[in-house]
Structures are given as structure tokens and as C-alpha cells.
Amino acid sequence: MGKLREQMKGDLELKGMSPHTQEIYLRQVNQFSRHHGRSPRQLGEKEIKEYLLYLIREKKASTSTVNQCYHALKFLYKTTLNREWVMARVPHLKSLKQLPIVLDKEEVESLFSVTKNIKHRAILMLIYSSGLRLMEAAHLKVTDIDSKRMLLRIKQGKGRKDRYTILSKVALKALREYWSQYRPQEWLFAGRFPGKPLTGRSIQRVLIKAKKLAGIKKPATVHTLRHSFATHLLEAGTDLYHIQLLLGHRSLNTTTIYLHVSRKELVRIVSPLDIKRRKIS
């Protein structure tokens, strides 16, 4: 699907989709095409439904993965192929309302302490202390560090929006130690290939290794550090509005999910079983 891929890639760029989203959409369409062994031009509603059910039933794909595929195919048929009717009767999988996994402060500290490579430790510290998304961390440039104002500039984050978030003094110290050893030029965290940033997959491997060494059993991912950042700020008394700004959420409703995982108010509530025992004693 060489020509079709280039056509879709151009449409994604014209729509202002981020490089990360472009990569995901193109990969999903390619996998759909390979599954059926034919070009998407030759496929329609029946094959789309069959493939989405295959992802759910056989691949046991997550809701987010299935929905990524759905939106990628919707973009392909509606925008690139101008066949909007193809997706008209394809159901959209309802997203599950799951609470985020959160590490406590001791678990976060243990991740840092077991990570001896200063580059890897600086990455994990920066993601947690500034509440970064995976690809935001990967695409940071040296010039995004504002040590005078203790701010970190995030360019073209999710939704193609720029924002500022806080820069931790502890993280800055780790960054300076990393700088003295690696001397990064353009990308703050350079990858293996010249002129390229560290990949998201490489950062994920750093977290997986650290989690194993720290003995953390929770199903934590790199994004868990961002969830932990928001939850710990909330527990420390930071208001939701400022947490929303730091995270780059479009809506405050998105940020309110951390109210459900914060222990600040929950620890004040006494279980009815304990209330009863207090009266007895």
C-alpha cells in the first residue's frame, strides 16, 4: 500500500496530526491490510468489523488499541479514500472507565535509587517530577530547559499544544550530572542514531527494568509516573486547576479522575467497622 500510505500520510500532516499519531494510524492501517492480504481500497465494512472482532477476541487487545484502530480506519476511509459510508455502521467500542495506577512516593523513589545509569535516572525523574507523557519526554530538546525560571517547555504536546510545566530542583541536579557526562546537543535525550531522539520504546524498557529491580508488582507503565505526579500534587494541596495546566488537559473533567485515587480525603474516613469497635472499647 505504498501510494496509499503516502497519500494518507499527507492527509494526516494536513490535518495537523502529531508525528506520533501519524505513526500509530499508519501502523494500524498497515496491520489491517496485512491481516486481509489486500489493499484497503478492496476492503469494506465486512472486513473492518471482522478485523476489529479479531483484535478483541483473538489478540485480546486493549480497548485503547481497538479504538486506535477504529479511528485510523475511519480517517483512512473518510478522509483519504472519501468513502465515509464504509464506517457508517461499524460500532465504536465503548471506553472503560478505569482508574489510573498510581505509585506511592516510596515506590517512585525506589525506581530512582535502583537506576544507576544517570541518563536513565534523569529521564525517569523528569517524567515524574514534571508530569510528562512518554513522547513529550522523548522529544525534549536542550533548549526546552529553563533553569532560571525553573520551567520546562513542552512543544506540540497532545492536541498540538505548547505548555509549560514545573522543573524540579532535584531533577535539575540529575540533569546537570547527566549533562556533564553526555553533553547532549539538540535532543535532550539522544537516541542511538545520530540526530535522532531516544525512542519511546527505549524509555519504556528503562521503566520495566527499574520496576523489576525495585520489586514493584503493580502493572505500572511510564504513564504511571505522570499519574503519580498528579496524584501526589493533589495530596500535597495543589488545586485541580493548576494540575490541569501542568498536565495540559483540555478539560478540567479529565483532571478530576485524580480525586478518585487521592488518599488525602479517604484516609480521614473511618470504616463503620472501626466506628463500632471504638464504641465497644
Digit-coded pLDDT (tens) for 145-156: 999 999 999 986
Q: What is the DSSP letter of 145?
A: E
Active site annotation includes 34 = no
Out of 3.30.1550.10, 1.10.443.10, 3.30.565.10, 1.10.10.10, select the CATH number for domain 105-265: 1.10.443.10
Which residue in 120, 139, 163, 226 is the catalytic one? Answer: 226
Active site annotation includes 92 = no
Active site annotation includes 226 = yes
Q: What is the mean pLDDT of residues 197-202?
A: 94
Q: What are the backbone angles phi and psi of residue 206, rounded to the nearest 5°?
A: -60, -45
CA gap 81, 70 in Å, rounded? 15
Which residue in 70, 128, 178, 258 is the catalytic one? Answer: 258
Which residue in 133, 163, 211, 227 is the catalytic one? Answer: 133
CATH 1.10.150.130 in the chain, residue ranges: 2-87
Digit-coded pLDDT (tens) for 177-194: 999 999 999 999 999 988
C-alpha cell belonging to residue 186: 539538540
pLDDT at 159: 59
Active site annotation includes 120 = no
Name residue, grid cell 530538546: 141
Active site annotation includes 178 = no
Which residue in 9, 41, 141, 158 is the catalytic one? Answer: 158
CATH 1.10.443.10 in the chain, residue ranges: 105-265
Domain 2-87, CATH homologous superfamily name and number: Tyrosine recombinase, N-terminal domain (1.10.150.130)
Q: What is the mean pLDDT of residues 75-85?
A: 93
Confidence of residue 160 (pLDDT cuts 50, 70, 90): low
CA gap 133, 146 in Å, rounded? 19
How open is the CA angle 213-145-230, to the nearest 5 degrees? 55
Which residue in 20, 71, 78, 223 is the catalytic one? Answer: 223
Q: State the number of CA atoms in the 13 A half-sphere of 180 facing the CB.
A: 6
Active site annotation includes 169 = no
Lowest mean pLDDT among 82-96, 106-120, 180-194, 224-238: 82-96
pLDDT at 230: 94
Question: What is the pTM assigned to this prediction?
Answer: 0.77
